[in-house]
Amino acid sequence: MKKIVYVSNEWFVDTDITVLAELSHLYTIHWLYYTNFSSPRFNIDELKQYATRYGIILHLYECHSKQLSWNLFKLQWRFIQEIRKINPDIVLRVSFHYYWAFLSILLRKYKIIYAFHDVVSHSNTKEGLLDDLCRYYIVKTNKYFILYSSTQYNYFNNKWPGKIVKNVGMSVKSCGSSEKHPSHIAEGVKLLFFGRIEYYKGLDLIIAAIERLYEKGISNIQLSVYGKGPFWNSCESLVKTKNLYNLNIRFVNTSEIPDLFSTHHFLVLPYRDATQSGPLMIAANYGMPIFAARLEGFLQIYPETCGNYYEVRELDDALLKLSKMTDQEYDNLRKNVVKLSELYSPSAIAQNYIQFFENII
């Protein structure tokens, strides 16, 4: 079997793990994965079980250092050594790093594909300029690239013409089954914000809007927040009416996800900017509509028949409309999402990778 080395960190497991399982049927996969062993974002034992189940060779590396530390340099050097030892047909680097960008010259005999979830940094992202410079260097000195949305694909091709690029998309992600169902929406609308709490994801915007509506007498909208992140302190100060929220500011175990996505009515995505969304693909798997800012990255996956979109300036009006939704209207949305999920199955998305790999090999 042809060999693929897949290099990633913990930030991309939730969007890429389904594809690895599919690729393992055709290729020998060496997964070079790094995380903080003392507080991993994903359970390490679960990752080991996953790798064993699909015959993936998992290489675990500990990483809890600052981005420009000497320890990070040594880690990237270990990747280089391991790849040369494996001697793969393709190296797929899902996350890039400053030191890797320069050390990878030692891998010039190999075909390296860089996968970019974000061609440009999100708004208010720390070290965005350094990321942009690193990304620029990688693009100028390499040939093969993977993108995950048509928006980013078009942006990339316009900015850097002449590269060999593939938009592979993202698959739906199942975290297990659930026997639970959302309550009648007429009894109250349950919104779910799930994942990392960052400025660009706009959690503060939805909280502020819920509070404004409550002051006008609208009290049948409840927001659950499951996740953690550096922007939570700014959001927490906006929470005034405690009974409108179910706050779980913590790491969320995979085993909790099926019930979360099966008992809430909408995944809320009040993002300031977005290229794509991991939680969006989990929602698609569980037939869950979305309530989201009108961003092209979302609309390309979830058409308007599968959710409620709003312009930022119209957030309050959109929430008010949501508070009056009938059970029939909501059931129609769910039926459309179920049809949508079939288009983004792991096997369908994996074929995009496979076509690209075979053309390169």
Residues 225, 317 share a domain: yes
How many domains does the chain contain in total? Answer: 2
Same domain, 334 and 215: yes
Same domain, 98 and 247: no
Residues spanned by the domain of 242: 185-344
Instruction: Confirm whether 43 is domain-assigned.
Output: yes
Q: Under a CB-based contact definition with an 8 Å cutoff, are residues 200 and 274 in contact?
A: yes
On whether both 131 and 201 belong to a single domain, the answer is no
Based on the fold, state whether residues 353 and 334 are members of the same structural domain: no
pLDDT band at 307 (very low <50, low <70, confident <90, very high): very high
Neighbour-count burial of 249, counting CB atoms closer than 10 A to its CB (0-12 exposed, 13-18 middle, 19+ buried): middle
CA distance 115 to 100: 14
Is-contact 257 282, C-beta < 8 A? yes
Strands 27-35 and 111-116: unpaired
**Residues 46 and 131 placed together within one structural domain of the fold:** yes
Provide CB contacts within 8 A for 288, sequence distance 6+: 261, 262, 264, 265, 266, 267, 334, 337
- Residue identified by tokens 């393992």 is 24
Question: Looking at 27-31, 108-112, 276-280, 345-349, which range is the least confident one?
Answer: 276-280
Question: 176 lies in a domain?
Answer: no
Residue 114, pLDDT > 90, answer yes
Each residue of 316-325: pLDDT tens digit?
A: 999 999 999 9
Is residue 344 pLDDT above 60, yes or no? yes
Q: Could you give the CA distance from residue 223 to residue 268 in angstroms, rounded to a whole number?
A: 9
Q: How far apart are CA 297 and CA 150, in angstroms?
A: 8
50-86 pLDDT, tens digit each: 999 999 999 999 877 677 788 889 999 999 999 999 9
Separation between Cα atoms, residue 343 and residue 223, nearest integer Å: 29
Q: Do residues 153 and 217 share a domain?
A: no
Instruction: Note whether 349 and 339 are same-domain residues.
Output: no
User: Between residues 16 and 35, which one has the greater pLDDT?
Assistant: 35
Whether residues 30 and 151 share a domain: the answer is yes
Q: Decide if 178 is inside a domain.
A: no
Question: 204 and 270 in one domain?
Answer: yes
pLDDT at 124 over 60: no
23 Cβ neighbours under 8 A, 6+ residues apart: 4, 29, 350, 353, 354
pLDDT of 286 over the 90 cut: yes
- Residue (of 261, 269, 254) closest to 288 by Cα position: 261
Q: Are 114 and 144 in contact (CB under 8 A)?
A: yes
> CA 298 to CA 276: how far, in whole Å?
6
- Nearest Cα neighbor of 84 from 56, 62, 112 is 112
Q: In terms of domains, do 102 and 248 share one?
A: no
Q: What contacts 331, CB < 8 A, 6 or more positions away?
A: none
Please say whether the dihedral angle defined by the alpha carbons of residues 269, 274, 276 and 277, taken in this order, is positive or negative: negative
Does 177 reside within a domain?
no
Q: Is residue 180 part of a domain?
A: no
Residue 204 belongs to some domain of the structure? yes
* CATH code (residue 84): 3.40.50.2000
Q: For the chain, what is the mean pLDDT?
A: 90
Joined together, the tokens standing for residue 221 give 């909208």
Q: Do 55 and 23 meet the contact criterion of CB atoms below 8 Å apart? A: no
Does residue 251 fall inside a structural domain? yes
- The count of residues in the chain is 361
Classify residue 85 by burial, with Cβ atoms within 10 Å: 0-12, 13-18, 19+. exposed
253 and 330 housed in the same domain = yes
Does 179 map to a domain? no
Whole-number pLDDT of residue 15: 66
